[in-house]
Structure 1
């Protein structure tokens, strides 16, 4: 009977984990020199997201690769952030982020554009659930710094509703320009 309960608990745990997707961004073999020689271990960088506006990243280090990945995934789930998305598919506004020598720029894009970004930034945006965005990384290609710079940019993202509440205005006053910009192409088509 004890075996059945363990299986049930494991099944529930898998269902909880199924809401998140994880991406292994980088794995690195590291060595520590000690008196007897070198101790080899592995460092992993993992991105975890629910494709609905929540994403996190984590680092893990262990003697074996699967254990390093497991540690990184657990840390990523603990450090998740929520990012407001426009229509659940793109960013509300252009944003820049920076960490060390890593700089990233991200722009909102029209439907059908797809995720135009490279490497670690692409993994973060896909786990976040963004479908249309243009991203560019400037400076370092170090995956740790690129991921941190991307998270810095995402933390700066604000929805029109939060900006309106901070300023004491209505959402329509904040997004007025966007609606005018959208009506101009429609007027040309008519």
Structure 2
């Protein structure tokens, strides 16, 4: 996973709340309720991140989740038709997500948590399949793991010391 530092102040980020859970802790005086919010942020142009916020109030949990997500932004390699450069597999915990490159006009074929990540990354044509666990948090993180593991033909060409045409042939 590539974790270069991205200056989030220059990006116009939009966020999407994937899930809000109410969690309780039993204490001496009864139960204390809190909320956990899973938030995905992205600029629609190859940057996406996910964060978790916990607080006693829902709006506060969402705000904290957004702040956490901005800190964890990753860069996604996109190709000409707003798809991914190659098929990839993302894994986090027991959740796995298969990401398949698609031609122009396919649209986004993805389940709920993976769809939020893919849309905010700016991908327009992709097919995904969630395998293993369907825990929303792990599916989101597995999708980000898979997207961050993508390499563009330019990066591979540079690494091998060849031209892009030689690699694509």
* TM above 0.5: yes
SS at match of 2:96: strand
Q: What corresponds to 2:47 in structure 1?
A: 54
Residue ranges of structure 1 left out of the alignment (5+ in a row): 1-15, 177-190
1:154 is aligned to 2:147: yes
| TM-score for both structures, normalised by structure 2 | 0.92
TM-score, structure 1 normalization: 0.82
- What is aligned with 2:29? 36
The answer on whether the counterparts of 1:88 and 1:129 sit within 8 Å (CA) in structure 2 is no
Q: For residues 60 and 39 of structure 2, what CA distance do their matches in structure 1 show?
A: 12
Of 109, 121, 136 in structure 2, the residue corresponding to residue 143 of structure 1 is: 136
Structure 2 residues not aligned, in runs of 5+ = 1-8
Between structures 1 and 2, the one with greater helix share:
1
Counterpart position of 2:101: 108
Runs of 4+ deviating beyond 2 Å: none
Secondary structure of residue in 2 paired with 1:150: helix
Q: RMSD of the alignment, in Å?
A: 1.4
Instruction: Report the number of matched residues.
Output: 161
The answer as to 2:158 corresponding to 1:165 is: yes
The secondary structure found in structure 1 opposite 2:64 is helix
